[in-house]
Structure 1
Amino acid sequence: MFDKLRRPIVFQGAKQKAPYFEGWYFKHVSADEKTAICFIPGVSLSQKESHCFVQYIYTYEDEYQQQKTITGYVDEPIEAFQHQEKPFLVKVGSNIFTETFISVDLEDQQMSIKGKIGYGSFKPIESSVLQPNIMGFFAYIPKMECYHGVISMNHSLSGSLMVNDTRIDFTNGKGYVEKDWGRSFPKDYRWIQCNDFEDKQTSLFFSVAHIPFHIAAFKGFICNLVVNDQEYRFATYNRSKLLKEEQKGNELVFVLENKQARLTIFAKATHTGELIAPKNGTMEKSIKEGLIGEVSFQLLDKQTGVTIQDKGKMAGVEIVDDI
């Protein structure tokens, strides 16, 4: 069990268990920062109907230098889902996802996406027995609504995709991988991800959400910032505090603090598209996500007294409210 939790990329569920969902999030940004594409392969298991799928969200710059976002959902019978642990592989129909490459062959009424993207070495988060993954000790608690895994904060890309009649080169671009599994997405949450800062080695993940916990509920948050080859972790489970949470339209501000550091995050969602999220295992909840948001942060390292600031683009930003 521990080995599996420390490798959240592997399939955590069983195809016979419902209600249940599991989805991987593979994000790719081109080196020229004009194109971003994310693929979300997964399974949806419910009493009514079970299937596997690949969602996509594609953002590009058109001939008028305007940003456009297109999303889609391609489903397959559950029998089209295959997986293995070592080496990791997930297959949905003819689409293959691994730790070293993905091979995509997707087509719907609006898009044709075909090609292969290779991955450089993944940059996983730090883990231990008490914190096997980004969930900390909550990873060991059974029957939680949603579990989360951060698989690679940053890695390089190579290869290209044919999107309709256009070849998109992702060589020297940036990649990121995470995943979710459980019964349902939280009813409301904020999620921010960026690894396209001015310092190209810097990467940030943050999420705050409503967390049902047995007969009660609480607001939980997790944040991982890698800067100057050092990891800063802010989370409910390590006694960090969420000092400020502010939203004005599509703009967000968060202030986090623990004994090690104080972090202020500014984020703005732009050009969002519609994705489908799980509710009791069924993919039926509509959410909005963008791939070209803006993020900046200010970090005060209390141990060294050093303040670090950076700003990034091509950021993933989701703002989901309980409606």
Structure 2
Amino acid sequence: MSNPLQTPHSGYHWNGSSERFFEGWYFRVTLPTLEQTFAFMYSIEDPLGGQGYSGGAAQVLGANDEYLCRTFPDVTQFWATKDELGLGHWGKTDLKHNPQLLDPKDFETQIQQGYQATAYLNQGMIQDPATKKYCRWQYEIKPIYGWGNPNQAQQSTAGWLSSFPIFEPGWQILMAHGLATGWIDWSGQLYYFDDAPAYHEKNWGRAFPKRWFWVNCNSFKQENDLAITAGGGKRGVLWWMESVALICLHYRGKFYEFVPWNSEVSWAIEPWGYWKMQAKNAQYEVELVGTTEHSGTPLRAPTSEGLAFCCRDTMRGHLRLELREKQGRVIVRAESSVCGLEVGGSPWDKPWIKD
């Protein structure tokens, strides 16, 4: 295994079936001094082809929560590896051979539209044909935390049962924290960065949850070794629905896990603007509050009717976080102004509260 921090589910999940299927990947890099974040979202649906929703897409949530999207209808130009993180989709190109990972220099000269990504590289170019706005990007990644303690076997985000097709959808954090070096060209505005905080996750299955929320940050004031992912949703489990949530942190070489099978997790999430979560287990307690005054940006996600606008994100959220021992000693107290915040699905006509 080339990546010692590789998590379970890093490889591509499609088994060749004609049944409804999607897989999506999320790569992010944050530029703390500029308080800007770029998120790259890649997806493939019904990859056998010839079906109503067959196709791929690349979305970019860029500077100031601005948005670009490009679809790639030809599923034969998509590739992904089964045993490790690796994927790409070629759009406009003169190359005739099967799509595959290219040397970054070859990709830049040969692929006019498309992307490629691994655990160590994220590269691509998309352009909106109507507005001519575009994004080009290329950066290398040094993984710091996968999912779990860095000196132990990495864990499935949703536990060992996620190896079976029980939950809809599957969810896996691929890299809770890493450092990215490279550049992003946002319609002529160039951003160069060195050792910027980076993050990867993925999901797969037949559709996103019925309703969900998400809080994610690995760029904190006065804390350069802290990463948190928290979220919850109403998801399908075999023939019923359940509401579940987790809060997990990596801090100074240690993994703190608050998940349904070892902790009590509660939340109060407004339809937009306010995310509060709390959790406690046998040893620790954690509380986080995310807020934003920004309106957020609608994003597309796979649904039973294909890729559709069904969630809202901002990468300019404010986050307050406290982790403490059960006896009261504070382990870390931190704040950020570049937190990712999201709500998705429906209904969001009133707050979602679970005590």
TM-score range (shorter-chain normalised) is 0.7 to 0.9
Per the alignment, residue 293 of structure 1 pairs with 317
Provide the C-alpha distance between the structure 2 equivalents of 1:321 and 1:98, rounded to a whole number of angstroms.
29
Per the alignment, residue 156 of structure 1 pairs with 179
Deviations 1:14-60 (A, max 9, x none): 3544311101100011242332111111101284130011111112x
Provide the C-alpha distance between the structure 1 equivalents of 2:166 and 2:338, rounded to a whole number of angstroms.
34
Deviations 1:81-136 (A, max 9, x none): 01124664211113111111111111113421123111112410128999841111
Stretches of structure 1 that go unaligned for 5 or more consecutive residues are 60-67
Per the alignment, residue 105 of structure 2 pairs with none
Deviations 1:203-229 (A, max 9, x none): 000011112222322211122111232
Per the alignment, residue 192 of structure 2 pairs with 169
Per the alignment, residue 126 of structure 1 pairs with 148
Per the alignment, residue 252 of structure 2 pairs with 228
Question: 1:26–1:246: structure 2 CA closer, same or farther, 3 Å change rule?
Answer: closer
Bigger mean CA offset, 186-195 vs 219-228: 219-228
Question: 1:246–1:41: structure 2 CA closer, same or farther, 3 Å change rule?
Answer: closer
Provide the C-alpha distance between the structure 1 equivalents of 2:327 and 2:251, rounded to a whole number of angstroms.
15
Deviations 1:302-321 (A, max 9, x none): 37834421111211101225
8 Å contact kept, 1:156–1:172: yes
Corresponding residue to 2:70 among 68, 74, 99: 74
Provide the C-alpha distance between the structure 2 equivalents of 1:216 and 1:92, rounded to a whole number of angstroms.
35
Per the alignment, residue 218 of structure 1 pairs with 242
Per the alignment, residue 59 of structure 2 pairs with 55
Per the alignment, residue 62 of structure 1 pairs with none
Are positions 1:253 and 2:257 aligned together? no
Are positions 1:8 and 2:12 aligned together? no
Matched residue type, 1:207: G
Corresponding residue to 1:98 among 118, 121, 125: 118
Instruction: Specify which structure has the higher proportion of strand.
Output: 1
Provide the C-alpha distance between the structure 1 equivalents of 2:302 and 2:312, rounded to a whole number of angstroms.
13
Deviations 1:167-191 (A, max 9, x none): 1112231100001111111111110
Deviations 1:47-83 (A, max 9, x none): 4130011111112xxxxxxxx3221221111111011
Per the alignment, residue 22 of structure 1 pairs with 23
Provide the C-alpha distance between the structure 1 equivalents of 2:12 and 2:152, rounded to a whole number of angstroms.
20
Question: 1:37–1:112: structure 2 CA closer, same or farther, 3 Å change rule?
Answer: same
TM-score normalised by structure 2 residue count: 0.80
Per the alignment, residue 275 of structure 1 pairs with 299
Provide the C-alpha distance between the structure 2 equivalents of 1:78 and 1:307, rounded to a whole number of angstroms.
48
Q: Percent of aligned positions with the same letter in both sequences? A: 16
8 Å contact kept, 2:54–2:75: yes
Per the alignment, residue 187 of structure 1 pairs with 210
Provide the C-alpha distance between the structure 1 equivalents of 2:17 and 2:88, rounded to a whole number of angstroms.
17
Determine helix, strand or coil for the equivalent of 1:120. strand
How far 1:237 moved relative to its partner?
Answer: 2.4
Stretches of structure 2 that go unaligned for 5 or more consecutive residues are 1-5, 91-113, 348-355
Matched residue type, 2:322: Q
1 or 2 for the larger relative contact order (CA 8 Å, sep ≥6)? 1
8 Å contact kept, 2:246–2:265: no
Are positions 1:266 and 2:289 aligned together? yes
8 Å contact kept, 2:86–2:118: yes
Matched residue type, 1:18: E
Per the alignment, residue 63 of structure 1 pairs with none
Provide the C-alpha distance between the structure 2 equivalents of 1:289 and 1:246, rounded to a whole number of angstroms.
14
Provide the C-alpha distance between the structure 2 equivalents of 1:131 and 1:226, rounded to a whole number of angstroms.
13
Q: How many residues are treated as equivalent by the alignment? A: 310
* CA-atom RMSD in angstroms: 2.5
TM-score normalised by structure 1 residue count: 0.88
8 Å contact kept, 2:214–2:230: yes
Matched residue type, 2:268: E
Question: 1:292–1:145: structure 2 CA closer, same or farther, 3 Å change rule?
Answer: same
Determine helix, strand or coil for the equivalent of 1:139. helix
8 Å contact kept, 2:122–2:140: yes
